[in-house]
Amino acid sequence: MHPTVKDKASLTFPFLAFIPDSYWMQCEIRTVSPSTSLFIREGHMFQHAVFVLSGTVRIFKGNEQGREITLYRVQDGQNCVLMMASILGDTPYEASVEIEEETDLLLVPIPLFKNWIEICQPLKQFIFGQMVERITSVMTLLDSIAFRPITYRIAQFLLGNTNDKNATLRITHEQAAIELGTAREVVSRALKVLTDNRLISQGRGYIEVLDRDRLLQVLQDEVL
């Protein structure tokens, strides 16, 4: 017997197994990719609640000048808390969405989703738990932008996206600027400082951490 939408979704979100079969008739699983034409941009009004079963979705803010900053990513077993706030508050979406890799999404019509919340306490706990985690991470991001020098933020970003076994990050200066919410020129200048001090090396489309201990020292002393 082929697995149902409920069966597939419950593998990633086990608490959804408690929702009766009769509450699943209008749900669907949709596969999207970076080439999929999506129109989920700031100001969007959702027709469905969305749960990520697999893949990665980037949530970001942009301005009229074309600058972007990544707020967070939504991956397997997560959903977007700004989407939930939009749905529950019946307000426009406050961010934009980019599909970064092939991604499977569970789509639940909003009236049905609100019924789910009423009958499934674990779902309600999951949503509010995600909100607490994301608010904390976004507050950390805002603190970093407002109060930390760019070399600190780049060191933090590089340390968070590399490790002892894989010290190379495949990324352009433009992409790093989007992640950090600043201008490419600012990132390029800071990376040059780190390169001149032999903490990193860089080339076309990559940055390699050469001295992880000294990069950690940048976070502790906020030097460079």
Q: Write out pLDDT tens, residues 90-136.
A: 999 999 999 999 999 999 999 999 999 999 999 999 999 999 999 89
Residues 6 or more apart whose CB falls under 8 angstroms from that of 167 comprise 208, 209, 210, 212
Residue 15's contacts (CB-CB under 8 Å, 6 or more residues apart) are 120, 122, 123, 126
For the domain covering 5-145, report its CATH number: 2.60.120.10
Q: Where in the chain is the domain with CATH 1.10.10.10?
A: 148-221
Give tens-digit pLDDT for 143-156: 888 888 999 999 99
Tokens at 14, concatenated: 């086990």
Is 30 in contact with 107 (CB distance < 8 Å)? yes
The three-state secondary structure class of 223 is coil
Tokens of 174: 């433009």
40-58 tens-digit pLDDT: 999 999 999 999 999 999 9
Continuous H helices in the chain = 5-12, 81-89, 110-119, 121-147, 150-161, 173-180, 184-196, 212-221
Domain with CATH 2.60.120.10 in the chain: 5-145
pTM summary value: 0.81
Separation CA 97–CA 114 (nearest Å)? 23
Provide the 10 A C-beta neighbour count for residue 33.
11
Residue where the block lists tokens 């893949």? 55
Dihedral (CA of 164, 56, 98, 73) sign? negative
Tell me the CATH number for domain 148-221. 1.10.10.10
Which among 133, 126, 123 has a CA at the least distance from the CA of 72? 133
The residue assigned the tokens 């890799």 is 101
Residue 66, pLDDT > 80, answer no
Smallest CA-to-CA distance from 130 within 73, 58, 91, 54 is with 73
